[in-house]
Amino acid sequence: MMQLIDGKATSQTIKQEIADEVKHIIANGGKRPHLAAVLVGNDGGSESYVASKVKACEEVGFNSSLVRFNSDVTENELLACVQKLNVDSDIDGFIVQLPLPAHISEEKITEAIDPRKDVDGFHPVNLGKMILGMPCFISATPQGIMELLKRYNIETKGKHAVVIGRSNIVGRPMSILLSQKGVFADATVTVCHSRTANLKELCLEADIIVAALGKPKFLKADMVKQGTVIIDVGTTRVDAPDTKRGWQLIGDVDFENIAPKCSYITPVPGGVGPMTIISLLQNTLKAVKL
């Protein structure tokens, strides 16, 4: 029997848990968690991502701040802002929304963030600590997927997981997390990518497939065996003239045809997506406790 992994419902449940925890902290005289976001320019996508992050903060009782800059801000001005947030004791964690304008080095900005406030988990030190299994901030999408595996009690130990995609923010960390020692880990993991010669054969062997390559409906039904767990990380906007918005989100998985063969599958939208903001809230709460 195929079971849908409902990321939307799970994210609501966790939001409630976080809201309860915040109430508990406040009731015990603790500090209200405070997340800040830095937004440069006015790219539509970035605007709406940041807006939904601010909204999620409000829903769980966090304070939130938004620092805005015009797109002609200099790298030094932005670095000064990062420095200010680093030392502001009221700010528990902050993010600098990417992408940044071409004249600013994302690498430099990311490295300037105090790793203890880097709730996006993009700082090299947080990636390194993830490898070492040390306490750290893990980036939103991989952490959200790991949370879904836990919440749905999906066995990973000794299973063969195929991760399609090797990006720094999804594929790479997923392959590391799934193959580490521990519960909801301990999988045998194969990292696949654009150079992989025999992807279909590898996918047919997989007990778990994480599709994170960004190609709509790439993974077809004839590439998976019966009973596979499918995690679809793809979110490509595709024109859809019949819809109100004029576009819809399409995952990397041919959901309609694959779903009947799966044991578990995440839909798009409503699967991995809603979990990413949850990860950010969880990381901010973790930062408070540090």
Nearest distance in Å: CB 169, its own copies: 10
| Angle formed by the axes of helices 124-132 and 171-179, nearest 10° | 20
Report the site for its own copies in 73-112 (rule: CB under 8 A): 107
Residue (53 or 123) nearer to its own copies, CB: 123
Task: Work out whether 202 is an interface residue with its own copies (CB under 8 A).
Answer: yes
Among 192, 212, 268, 278, binds its own copies (CB under 8 A): 192
Of 6, 53, 118, 282, which is the active-site residue?
53
Among 56, 146, 189, 213, binds its own copies (CB under 8 A): 189
What are 1's two structure tokens?
């029997």
d(CA 38, CA 97): 6
Residue (115 or 270) nearer to its own copies, CB: 115
Among 29, 44, 158, 241, binds its own copies (CB under 8 A): 158
H or E segment to which residue 3 belongs: strand 3-4
| Angle formed by the axes of helices 44-60 and 273-289, nearest 10° | 60
Task: Work out whether 172 is an interface residue with its own copies (CB under 8 A).
Answer: yes
- 53 a catalytic residue: yes
- 261 a catalytic residue: no
- Quick one: 173 exposed, middle or buried, by C-beta within 10 A (0-12, 13-18, 19+)? buried
Task: Work out whether 261 is an interface residue with its own copies (CB under 8 A).
Answer: no
3-state DSSP assignment of residue 5: coil
On the question of a cis peptide bond just before residue 269, with omega within 30 degrees of 0, the verdict is yes
- 97 a catalytic residue: yes
**What is the side-by-side strand order in the sheet with 34-40?**
63-69, 34-40, 93-96
Among 129, 215, 261, 286, binds its own copies (CB under 8 A): 129
Cβ atoms within 10 Å of 45's Cβ, excluding its own: 10
Task: Work out whether 204 is an interface residue with its own copies (CB under 8 A).
Answer: no
Per CB under 8 A, residues contacting its own copies are 107, 123-129, 131-132, 134, 157-160, 166, 168, 172, 175-176, 179-181, 186-193, 195-198, 202
What residues are annotated to the active site? 53, 97, 120
